[in-house]
């Protein structure tokens, strides 16, 4: 598969993941009055469940037989690294720079997406 196709597919699924994340955060923060940090954690876990299936079978499909449990482990590590990067970014914006919580959540999606793509492309589904 051409890398440009892979990036386009990642962008499509990333957009769906961003919608899942944003809607979950909005419902939890606005509708249920839950803290922005707990809302963030919950939203990313939901989106990652969705993301793994699409990554495995559509974005990074492999011709060779792959060990799904190994991929789940590596995907979880990639998620952890990407999530930590965006969470530190989120905390820095909100607590350090007094940025609006919703804007910080949105900007964090880009930090997360970049780290997530690189980790899954180079490690999880290589």
The pLDDT tens digits for 86-111 are: 999 999 999 999 999 989 988 998 99
Number of domains in the chain: 2
Residue 44 scores a pLDDT above 90: no
pTM: 0.71
Range of the domain at 20: 1-63
Same domain, 90 and 116: yes
What are 49-91's pLDDT values in tens digits?
898 889 888 988 876 777 788 888 998 999 899 989 999 999 9
Q: What is the pLDDT of residue 86?
A: 93
Same domain for 54 and 75? no
CB 68 within 8 A of CB 83: no
CB 12 within 8 A of CB 54: no
d(CA 11, CA 34): 29
5 and 54 share a domain?
A: yes
6-29 residue pLDDT tens? 889 988 998 999 899 899 999 999
Does 69 share its domain with 98? yes
């Amino acid at each position: 598969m051409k890398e440009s196709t892979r990036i386009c597919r990642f962008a499509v699924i990333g957009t769906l993941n961003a919608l899942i994340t944003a809607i979950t955060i909005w419902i939890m923060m606005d509708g249920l009055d839950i803290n922005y940090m707990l809302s963030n954690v919950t939203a990313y876990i939901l989106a990652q469940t969705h993301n793994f299936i699409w990554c495995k079978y559509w974005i990074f499909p492999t011709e060779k037989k792959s060990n799904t449990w190994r991929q789940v482990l590596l995907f979880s590590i990639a998620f952890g690294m990407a999530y930590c990067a965006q969470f530190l970014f989120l905390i820095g914006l909100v607590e350090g720079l007094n940025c609006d919580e919703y804007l910080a959540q949105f900007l964090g999606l880009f930090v997360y997406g970049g780290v997530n793509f690189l980790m899954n492309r180079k490690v999880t589904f290589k």
